[in-house]
Structure 1
Amino acid sequence: MRLPEKPAILEVRHALRAWISEYAPGPELAVALSGGADSIAMTAAAAAEIRTVHALVVDHRLQDGSDVVAAQACEHALSLGCATATVLNVDVDGGGGMEAAARAARYEALDDARRGVPVLVGHTLDDQAETVLLGLARGSGGRSIWGMSPYEQPWGRPLLSVRRSVTRQACTELGINPHDDPHNSSPDFTRVRLRTEVLPLLEDVLGGGVAGALSRTANQLREDGSCLDSVASRVGARVVEESAVSVAALAGEHPSIRRRVLRTWLQEHGAKGLTDKQLRAVDDLVGRWRGQGGVAVGGGTPNARLVVRRERGRLRAGLEGTGPDDERRV
């Protein structure tokens, strides 16, 4: 299909070209197509700019008629020039909340079906701003407000500089009526309330440009954080010996580097859901040592906690039993 030379679809194509130029993903890609405006605009641009595009349409089967929506999305994909269009049916168990469960099921299905090629997803600048605000609410440090990366293999996000209004206008230019998911307007979801209540209020109070400012802030923090992570990786290679951290070797580093080293080390030992408070408590075993006891962090098993202790100048992490079938620290 030859795309119209109109402003909105051209903006989407230019954003995709810039992404391709930076990340050089290759001549074959997949797109995650929901049938909504963002993913349709992205799919149209991808089919015009990339040699071979495969559309992957996830049907969560959470609403009546979702199969019809999925079939129509496939029709759009093929009419726009995609080489293939496939519906992926998933089961959503609701564990951890419906929104999180649907996301997990969606990404698992996309990963299974992508056949080794990157997958483009249609997150926009507005989605990025919402993600940053959600990260601010968690208050777990700079990493929580990095927002989404343009490319975290295999997931590509070429539209993070494009407003949601542009993708909708692009669909109008294409003559396609996108599907509007009722979940995207339901106040039951925090992200929807950010979209419909919080961001418009911030734009009004602060005089506009808030979404763009949040996105730029995320980009800058991600770039700075990536640099610090690289430094921390080199430090970690020097201070971690036989699964233990040398306190003397790490103590002289800046706290931001220390905590990055410790975060990576803890994750390698099975830590999950690390909070800023937990990480700082572990860092205190290095930088503010007063003989304090061990620090429990997220992870472990139903009968054992993951605990970090300082012993003979080293930090060691292991399981400490809490139930009848105690698992002892290793």
Structure 2
Amino acid sequence: MSPRRPDSVNRARRAVEAMLDPEGLTLVACSGGADSLALAVAAAYHHQRSSGPLAQARVGAVVVDHQLHPESEQVTATALAQLATLGLAPLVSLRAAVDPSSGVGPEAAARTARYQAFAQARSEAGASRIMLAHTRDDQAEQVLLGLARGSGTRTLAGIPATRGPFRRPLLGLTRADTEEICADAQLVPWQDPANADPQFLRSKVRTRILPFLEAELSGSIRESLARTAQIAAEDAAYLEEEAKQVFAALLEDPGAQGQLRMDLAALHRAPPAIRRRVIALAVVAAGGATPSYERLGAVEKLLLAQGSAGPVELEGRLSAHRGTRESADYGKLVIVPRLN
């Protein structure tokens, strides 16, 4: 009698099934580590099924070499070889152009380069979706990082299961589950030394902070943090939808090109959670980047009748000011491009 398949395999297959493109090509992003190899194993089960709702679904993979490790070429080659044994096609291999002088830190620079490579892979292969192998452990780490930054509900919501072309079906599985899936498939995952290097903040959370919290606070802290992310995501989605409606109602006919105006009094009456989101939507609509909490707070102060009328400098070379009594913008919050 054949050995019983681990339950983690079946759970991964079901989770992947729900997120595959049933009529097109989905690429699995694979680094060669346990999480992404396990995702590839689960996805391979559904590749070109002979019948059923996924009969037209195709699954390939993309391997991105960040060129940050002396053995990166060998790691990439090994990952591609293991993916080939799973029958995935096409297999796309790309090198990421990581800019260490970008000033955003090595992790952020690598992420930017990685997602640029993903976009290239989708275009070259004609894929509609890319699956990423984040797990419940990654979700717990993300929530802790969000708490440390004090970044609000959206950050506490952690890693989204779906965003644009990206799907993350393994958020309900643990890192131990993915290691079990690899062992069952007789695959040998790569152990990235950066994952245990405490000079990287996420690695420090993974190797020191979470184990400490498990020992001193609760053995189920990872599950609790992941549950917090799910609740926060639902709350944030509701608030953001409400904010979009308020923003649409408050946005006035644009004046000069690139300028945006909203009624000060009406914006001030909105609840703080909605008000801050409306301001952020306005900044993005004007061509800027999502403002920091500090910048949002500075713009909120403009809504008061007393104090400075601005301008407040914003991300994306924009500024916000309150229209003065002498101007046609009296009673308006105005967001405009900065001149310098």
Indicate whether the TM-score tops 0.5.
Answer: yes
Question: Tell me, which stretches of 5 or more residues in structure 1 are unaligned?
Answer: 322-326
Q: Which residue identity does 1:105 align to in structure 2?
A: A
Equivalent residue in structure 1 for 2:302, among 285, 292, 297: 285
The residue that corresponds to 1:324 in the other structure is none
The residue that corresponds to 1:141 in the other structure is 152
Q: Which residue identity does 2:178 align to in structure 1?
A: T
Q: Is the 8 A contact 2:298 2:312 kept in 1?
A: no
Equivalent residue in structure 1 for 2:248, among 229, 237, 252: 237
Shift of the alpha carbon at 1:81?
Answer: 1.9
- How many residues of Structure 1 are paired with residues of Structure 2 in the alignment? 312
Q: Distance in 2 between matches of 1:37 and 1:220?
A: 28
Q: Distance in 2 between matches of 1:173 and 1:69?
A: 21
Q: Distance in 1 between matches of 2:127 and 2:192?
A: 29
Cα shift readout 1:159-192 (whole Å, capped 9, x = no counterpart): 0111001101111111111011111111110100
The residue that corresponds to 1:10 in the other structure is 10
Shift of the alpha carbon at 1:50?
Answer: 4.1
Question: Tell me, which stretches of 5 or more residues in structure 2 are unaligned?
Answer: 49-57, 255-259, 324-329
Q: Distance in 1 between matches of 2:161 and 2:243?
A: 23
Is 1:310 aligned to 2:326, yes or no?
no
Equivalent residue in structure 2 for 1:263, among 268, 280, 288: 280
Shift of the alpha carbon at 1:273?
Answer: 5.5
Shift of the alpha carbon at 1:93?
Answer: 1.5
Change (3 A) 1:141 1:297: farther
Alignment of 1:1-330 (within 5 A): 5-20=5-20, 26-51=23-48, 52-94=58-100, 95=102, 96-114=104-122, 115-241=126-252, 242=254, 243-272=260-289, 274-286=291-303, 288-301=304-317, 306-311=318-323, 312-321=330-339, 327=340
Shift of the alpha carbon at 1:295?
Answer: 4.7
Q: Distance in 1 between matches of 2:22 and 2:149?
A: 33
Q: Which residue identity does 2:334 align to in structure 1?
A: R
Cα shift readout 1:68-99 (whole Å, capped 9, x = no counterpart): 11111111111112022121012212122111
Q: Which residue identity does 2:336 align to in structure 1?
A: G
Q: Is the 8 A contact 1:4 1:174 kept in 2?
A: no
Indicate the SS of the match to 2:99. coil
Q: Percent identity?
A: 38
Report the TM-score, using the length of structure 2 for normalisation: 0.86
Shift of the alpha carbon at 1:215?
Answer: 0.9
Cα shift readout 1:178-236 (whole Å, capped 9, x = no counterpart): 01111111111010010000001111112211111111111111111111111111111
The residue that corresponds to 2:52 in the other structure is none
Q: Is the 8 A contact 1:46 1:53 kept in 2?
A: yes
Q: Is the 8 A contact 1:92 1:105 kept in 2?
A: yes
Change (3 A) 1:99 1:171: same
